[in-house]
Structure 1
Amino acid sequence: MSSDTVPSKRPEKTTGLHVGDPAPGVKKVDPILVADHVKRTFGGLTAVDVEHVEIPRNAITALIGPNGAGKTTFFNLLTGFDRPDTGTWEFDGRPLAHVPAYRVARMGLIRTFQLTKSLGLLTVMDNMKLGAKGQSGENFFRALLPFLWSGEEKANEEKALDLLTRFKLDAKKDDYAASLSGGQRKLLEMARALMSDPTLVMLDEPMAGVNPALTQSLLDHILDLKAQGMTVLFVEHDMHMVRHIADWVIVMAEGRVVAEGDPHEVMQNPAVIDAYLGSHHDSDLGETETEHVTAMKELIDDEQ
């Protein structure tokens, strides 16, 4: 997303999210997700070592950091797709440690992936219906008695069509998901997540690989999630997007939370500047990482 691209719907920023000075692990007024001493190692590498973090309710929180900071691994741990070596975490007051991913989803915590997980050989509509929870027809014996679940199936189709219309995918409902563009698959994954009426939506790099023509649409949909009463936690490298739509920013580096705060203020935090710039002075960067560091430099200059 270019620096002059902003959401078409200017977001109302949520204020009063934290108690005390913003710092790693700062207490939130009304946290929906709380994690303590979550650590994950792979051999001799410590990928995640988060002492304490809280995610504020009914707000958009961005989780940022350079490549290899542990952001996606942390997502995987919180949502049951991976298990930590140590740690506890709870969602809406309910512990999530050792809870499998499908049960986490049923509790109202839904995530998307950097690489979309749509089922290419199913239609867009069928992908949507897979996202609905508590379907009676999924039971083997009930499946043999359509009169028990046909009404529910119709209601799910109506809900799916309404969501597809909102995401401008209704014309594609009978197409195979494999035929969609990368951006359309991102939209489908987000729409499918809403089929389960989640409380917290976690988006892993929602803008990665998205055609600029669909970027604006994705931004507006993320803002709509908050407007509908949901909490959003997203991983993103586009710092301009983070500054425009996030209410709160958490910064990770080398597996740890090194800073938290308002998106405008956190960009000037010395720990953040060092995380993005300090570790790269003597190393060769790939093209993508170079873009992230350049964007960070531009934002720091803008804030100053």
Structure 2
Amino acid sequence: MSSDVTPTATPVKTTGLHIGYAEPGCRKVDPILVADGVKRTFGGLTAVDVQHVEVPRGAITALIGPNGAGKTTFFNLLTGFDKPDEGSWEFDGRSLAHIPAYRVARMGLIRTFQLTKSLGLLSVLDNMKLGAKGQTGENLFRAILPFLWRSQDKEIEAKAEDILARFKLDTKKEDYAASLSGGQRKLLEMARALMSDPTLVMLDEPMAGVNPALTQSLLDHILDLKTQGMTVLFVEHDMHMVRHIADWVIVMAEGKVVAEGDPHTVMANPAVIDAYLGSHHDSDLGAEDPEHEHVLKELLDDQQ
């Protein structure tokens, strides 16, 4: 199959999360995150050029696309870890322009990273306690007066231990975070995110580098976030995972949103297949990138 497939498909009109046809930039019934005209360039390279996108509240949305599509850069822009050249974006009706990452997190938008950011020389429990908001003891003056913060600290520790038990990390609470496996660090990062009682959780490739034995556990915890009333937006390459847990899929290619819709409809969209093939035209897919060969096989299998 060549990469010059015309990126067109008949829009599908469904009900539930969006209004009208499922197409790039379509309106959502109840969006929690909205981005307009967000653009980021690095020299002569345009990494992100998103005209309009809305993330539905209370759903699990997958952000997919080939390597270099701009997914992580877009995450960084939305969460305050990078600044766009232009554009506006808002979370829960509040503009996030010029708001630093730590304040975005306090507003209820929490993210994790593809490469975990746990503090290796702190214990697992101390990593968890760092995620709690509004700690009285963080004030320099109050810190020297234990009676002002000791009660709150006990409550935070109890909450941390409860969440660690849910993630089956309670037996590791006194261990250094550096001693955890890659999958356990992913679990710790997700667990720590819950310490701040977020409204929207953004996960950057939560399955990357995870032992298959922990994959199902991570999947269950992502589904549980939705059960608890949170909204989830995640970057992922595993199409099997996307099909089974995502309510909505947004596809990026070359910095733009090229398709949106429910998982099964999106994966049969010629524009999506073209986006993956287009990143490998004139090359041997199997030799150059086994990961994308696997992704393409799943996309093409969905068409049959």
> Same fold judged by TM-score > 0.5?
yes
Q: Which runs of 5+ in 1 are unaligned?
A: 1-13
Q: Which amino acid aligns with 1:68?
A: G
Provide the alpha-carbon RMSD of the alignment: 1.4
Task: Note if 1:252 corresponds to 2:252.
Answer: yes
CA distance in 1, matches of 2:254, 2:141: 50
* Matched residue, 2:111: 111
Q: Which amino acid aligns with 1:33?
A: L
How far apart are 1:281 and its partner, in Å?
Answer: 3.0
* Matched residue, 1:237: 237
Q: Deviations over 1:45-82 (max 9, x none)?
A: 00000000000000000000000000000000000000
* Matched residue, 1:47: 47
SS at match of 1:277: helix
How far apart are 1:277 and its partner, in Å?
Answer: 1.7
CA distance in 2, matches of 1:163, 1:109: 19
CA distance in 2, matches of 1:86, 1:202: 22
Give the 3 Å change call, closer, same or farther, for CA 235–53 of structure 1 in structure 2: same
How far apart are 1:137 and its partner, in Å?
Answer: 0.2
CA distance in 2, matches of 1:216, 1:301: 23
Q: Which amino acid aligns with 1:159?
A: K
Q: Which amino acid aligns with 2:137?
A: G
Runs of 4+ in 1 over 4 A off after TM superposition: 284-288
Give the 3 Å change call, closer, same or farther, for CA 204–288 of structure 1 in structure 2: farther
* Matched residue, 2:191: 191
How far apart are 1:247 and its partner, in Å?
Answer: 0.1
Matched ranges for 1:171-210 at <5 A = 171-210=171-210
Q: Deviations over 1:221-276 (max 9, x none)?
A: 00000000000000000011000000000000000000000100001111101001
Larger displacement relative to structure 2 (269-278 or 235-244): 269-278
Give the 3 Å change call, closer, same or farther, for CA 193–24 of structure 1 in structure 2: same
Task: Note if 1:269 corresponds to 2:269.
Answer: yes
How far apart are 1:144 and its partner, in Å?
Answer: 0.7
CA distance in 2, matches of 1:104, 1:279: 33
Q: Which runs of 5+ in 2 are unaligned?
A: 1-13
Q: Deviations over 1:263-304 (max 9, x none)?
A: 000011111010012331312558783223323322331342
CA distance in 2, matches of 1:272, 1:23: 12
CA distance in 1, matches of 2:128, 2:287: 35
Task: Note if 1:146 corresponds to 2:146.
Answer: yes
Task: Note if 1:25 corresponds to 2:25.
Answer: yes
* Matched residue, 2:300: 300
- Identity of aligned pairs, percent? 84
Q: Deviations over 1:22-51 (max 9, x none)?
A: 110000000000000000000000000000
Matched ranges for 1:118-157 at <5 A = 118-157=118-157
Task: Confirm or deny: 8 A CA contact 1:238 1:292 kept in the other structure.
Answer: no
CA distance in 2, matches of 1:15, 1:136: 46
Q: TM-score, normalised on structure 2?
A: 0.93
Task: Confirm or deny: 8 A CA contact 1:70 1:253 kept in the other structure.
Answer: yes
CA distance in 2, matches of 1:286, 1:130: 43
Q: Which amino acid aligns with 1:161?
A: E
CA distance in 1, matches of 2:81, 2:284: 32
SS at match of 1:280: coil
CA distance in 2, matches of 1:46, 1:281: 20
Q: Which amino acid aligns with 2:302?
A: D
* Matched residue, 1:11: none
